[in-house]
Amino acid sequence: MILTAGSSKLAPARRFIERGHDSLKKRIIPLLLTFCLLLALPVSANAAERNEEETAAAYLFEMGIMVGDQSGNMLLDSHLTRAQLATILTRLNGNPEHVQAEQAYYIGQCKFSDVPEWAKLYVGYCYANGLMLGYDTGAFGADDGVTPQAACTVILRYLDPPDVTWDYSTACQTALDLGLTTDTAVNHAEVTRGDLAVMLYRALGHTALDVPEASELGVGLSRNSDGSINLPSDGSQYVPQVGDVIRCDDGTNYTITDVSRWDKSMFASGPIGPLPEPTCDWSLLDQPELPAMEVLHFQNETGDHLRIRNLYETRRMLYTLYNAIGNNPMTWQNDAPVLTSKGNQLVNINLSIPDGVSYQVFWPWRESEIINLFNSVPPGTYSMQAWDVYKDGVYSHTEYQIHVI
């Protein structure tokens, strides 16, 4: 039978086809939408990861930690060599002035025959500071790529997170658990420069990990209505975090952008540790009052500066001096301080130094500086103070000052 356009038998067939077509459309459209969403999800994730890589690379470039080629291209998709990783880690962990001043020493620490001349300083620094090691064969593998396990290992060595147990086999999972890297990075055969940029960026504090919320401020801290922080005046410890906005004495705010040298300031190898414990009866000694907290913000042709009177480290100086008094027979006998004929203490202590007075200064912290000075001239008046020094948002070091008369 032939159906023509005018045939009455065509209408039911057309209605069947149209109903089937409508039903098919109802099933296909949701499937297409779902398929499109599934396609969009990795694109969005990849876009977010790329955005973080670029943000991290820009920050590291500004800090002088990671640099690109002569055209300024950061080459985020390129793979790293172990020699290049050593270079970046040295810029991250080492004070530039110290590394250059001690370059002969660090070059000598590079015992590997497969390291090119240009990289020996950096490999030697990383080896001396336990950041990178060689292979069991005795080679360093300067031109080898960097595996995710190796990258996570050096980041964890750099951070040395407390109360975290890990080894090479668990380094990637530990770094993931701490929010230091991404699933994408640990699944690469070799990390890219972009992968490492994100790891370093997060290791420097640019992550929600360990950054206190408003309700989780440290002891003695308070927050102003604009979000800025008032530092403790009771001698409790303030540990700076990237992004902290500090309220200064002149009413201005100062933003901290880099704390990578905290506990590694200048030549220090690691955290200082807790305050000294008594080795004599401190209650029998001079009990000076802590000075008022000072947060001094000033700008000049060299940059944007901040100096914070560190009352916690001033206490460290005081307690170290107390123990030095108790360990010296000229100032401590029969379980008590030696007194003058008028019943006065031989050692007087001030916890600030007046402006215009010259003083000795040292950093990083070394208790021997105070102990040796005291033992050379035990009786006297000791004025001491400690200051945290920042420039352009970057923590530089904690400066220990002492004046004796």
278 and 134, same structural domain? no
Q: Tell me which of 203, 231, 251 is where a domain ends.
A: 203
Residue 32 lies in a domain: no
What is the pLDDT, as a whole number, of residue 215?
36
161 and 140, same structural domain? yes
Q: Minimum mean pLDDT among 46-55, 112-121, 323-332: which range?
A: 46-55
233 and 107, same structural domain? no
Kindly state the average pLDDT of the residues 49-76. 81
**Kind of pairing between the strands at 229-230 and 295-300:** unpaired
CA distances (Å), 336 to each of 43, 283, 309, 330, 377, in order?
73, 10, 32, 11, 19
Residue 2 lies in a domain: no
Element (H, E) at 109: helix 103-109
174 and 57, same structural domain? yes
Q: Tell me which of 170, 203, 236 is where a domain ends.
A: 203
252 and 189, same structural domain? no
Helices 120-128 and 82-93: angle between axes, nearest 10 degrees: 60
What is the pLDDT, as a whole number, of residue 265?
57
The amino acid occupying position 336 is A
269 pLDDT above the threshold of 60: no
14 pLDDT above the threshold of 60: no
What is the pLDDT, as a whole number, of residue 369?
94
Residue 22 lies in a domain: no
3-state helix, strand, coil in the chain (%, to 5): 40, 15, 45
Look at residues 353, 396, 400, 399 and name the one whose alpha carbon lies nearest to residue 373: 400
342 and 288, same structural domain? yes
* Bridge partners for 388 per DSSP: 308, 398
The amino acid occupying position 214 is A
End-to-end CA distance of the chain: give it in Å, rounded.
Answer: 123
- CA 321 to chain centroid: 30
> Which residue did the predictor score with more confidence, 244 or 323?
323
Kindly state the average pLDDT of the residues 125-149. 92
357 and 218, same structural domain? yes
CA distances (Å), 123 to each of 60, 183, 216, in order?
20, 28, 40
Residue 261 · residue 236 · CB < 8 Å: no
- What SS3 class is residue 386? strand
Instruction: Calculate the average pLDDT of the chain.
Output: 82
pLDDT digits (tens, 9 = 90+) for 176-199: 988 899 999 999 999 999 999 999
186 and 250, same structural domain? no
Query: Which position has the token pair 């109802």?
Result: 26
Q: Domain total for the chain?
A: 2
223 and 78, same structural domain? no
Residue 39 lies in a domain: no
Residue 30 lies in a domain: no
> Which residue did the predictor score with more confidence, 78 or 18?
78
296 and 263, same structural domain? yes
Residue 320 lies in a domain: yes
263 and 133, same structural domain? no
Residue 186 lies in a domain: yes
- Looking from the CA of 81 toward its CB, the CA atoms found within 13 Å total 14
Residue 125 lies in a domain: yes
Look at residues 107, 152, 110 and name the one whose alpha carbon lies nearest to residue 133: 110
pLDDT digits (tens, 9 = 90+) for 214-260: 334 555 678 776 778 899 888 888 989 888 899 999 999 999 999 88
Residue 238 · residue 262 · CB < 8 Å: no
The amino acid occupying position 352 is S
338 pLDDT above the threshold of 90: yes
Q: Tell me which of 180, 203, 226 is where a domain ends.
A: 203
Residue 395 · residue 262 · CB < 8 Å: yes
36 pLDDT band (50/70/90 cuts)?
Answer: very low
Q: Minimum mean pLDDT among 36-45, 192-201, 350-359: which range?
A: 36-45
Q: Please tell me the total number of residues recorded for the chain in this structure.
A: 405
- Give the residue numbers spanning the domain of 135: 52-203
**Kind of pairing between the strands at 295-300 and 303-309:** antiparallel
Residue 145 · residue 79 · CB < 8 Å: yes
What is the pLDDT, as a whole number, of residue 27?
43
CA 184/CA 201 separation, integer angstroms: 16
328 and 225, same structural domain? yes
What is the pLDDT, as a whole number, of residue 30?
44
Look at residues 394, 387, 392, 374 and name the one whose alpha carbon lies nearest to residue 327: 374
